[in-house]
Amino acid sequence: MTTVRARSPRSLPTPVGLTAEWYSHCARGELRFQRCGTCGAWRHPPRHLCPACGDEGWSWDPSSGRGTLFSWTVTHQALHPGFADALPYAVLVVELEEGVRVVAGLRGIEPGDLRLGLPVEVEIERVSDTIGLLYFRRRPA
């Protein structure tokens, strides 16, 4: 599930608080999401209270890393020079088996081959000691 690559020249997120905790799990190659200790609801992005029951108790539980393509957009113009060599590239919204949705990059599939509901699995790229970025690949049936 984890791939370690050289540092990217692209700008990186500078998260704080719970979001920094989430990225640090990713930096260790672990895809985890908050799960309510009372009702069991998964949630993302990170927040202090459960949106389902309002409880404050939760844990970082491991995700299967498997999901389906919920939506995407294809970028044809680089707004940051670090992305110029990747054009055109897709930005995905993937719905994980746990029910949460994440924004991520695409690997191993041409943007023109994307379709709604495509089965995908996560690949995490560690870009620093505190940041891991999510990419998804087609999942074998």
Instruction: Report the nearest approach of Zn ion to the CB of residue 124 (Å).
Output: 27
50 binds Zn ion (CB under 5 A): yes
Task: Report the residue from 28, 55, 86, 99 that binds Zn ion according to the rule CB under 5 A.
Answer: 55
User: Starting from the edge strand earliest in sequence, which strands make up the sheet with 42-43, in order?
Assistant: 42-43, 32-36, 58-62
Q: Collapsing DSSP states into helix, strand and coil, what is residue 117? A: coil
Contact 69, 63 (CB under 8 A): no
52 binds Zn ion (CB under 5 A): yes
Q: Which is nearer to Zn ion, 3 or 38 (CB)?
A: 38
Contact 75, 92 (CB under 8 A): no
The stretch among 19-27, 52-60, 78-86, 116-124 that binds Zn ion (CB under 5 A) is 52-60
Q: How many residues sit close enough to Zn ion to count as binding (CB under 5 A)?
A: 8
Q: Collapsing DSSP states into helix, strand and coil, what is residue 57? A: coil
Q: Which is nearer to Zn ion, 56 or 97 (CB)?
A: 56
Q: Which residue reads 């379709």 in tokens?
A: 115
Site for Zn ion in 9-48 (CB under 5 A): 36, 38-39, 41
53 binds Zn ion (CB under 5 A): yes
61 binds Zn ion (CB under 5 A): no
Report residue 13 as tokens.
Answer: 């997120």
End-to-end Cα separation, the chain, in angstroms: 17
Binding footprint of Zn ion on the chain (CB under 5 A): 36, 38-39, 41, 50, 52-53, 55
